[in-house]
Amino acid sequence: MNGEPNSTPGGQQFGYIAERMPYGSGYTGRLSTYVVHDAESGTDHTFMYADIVTEGFRTLHIGERVRFLVDPDEPDRARYIIRLDMPEVEDYYR
């Protein structure tokens, strides 16, 4: 490694949810859009709720830590978002 941040498209990244834009904000006008902030490189990537890998509801909250891949064809987009912190059920559904 050359000491530069690991921002290679396609590589596993770690970060947190920086912003959530509600229904209708997606590039198709129908999906929720999220912004994930890469903790190592400091870059932001967007993704749709369908990119969240989980069972059940695909909802993340601002500040949640996640693991993700950067799309090699679109370096500003994240894919395969995996939640690292599972919230308490009672807190999640308030």
pTM comes to: 0.72
Q: What angle do CA 12, 15, 17 make, to 5 degrees?
A: 125
- CATH for 12-92 is 2.40.50.140
Which one is predicted more confidently, 78 or 22?
A: 78
Per cent of the chain over pLDDT 90 is: 37
Q: Where are the domains of the chain?
A: 12-92
Residue 5: the pLDDT is 42
Q: What is the pLDDT of residues 35-63, one digit of tens each?
A: 999 999 999 999 988 899 987 777 888 99
SS3 88: coil
| CB atoms closer than 10 angstroms to residue 18 | 14
Q: Is it the case that residue 6 has pLDDT exceeding 70? A: no
As a whole number of angstroms, the distance between CA 50 and CA 34 comes to 11
Q: Is it the case that residue 25 has pLDDT exceeding 60? A: no
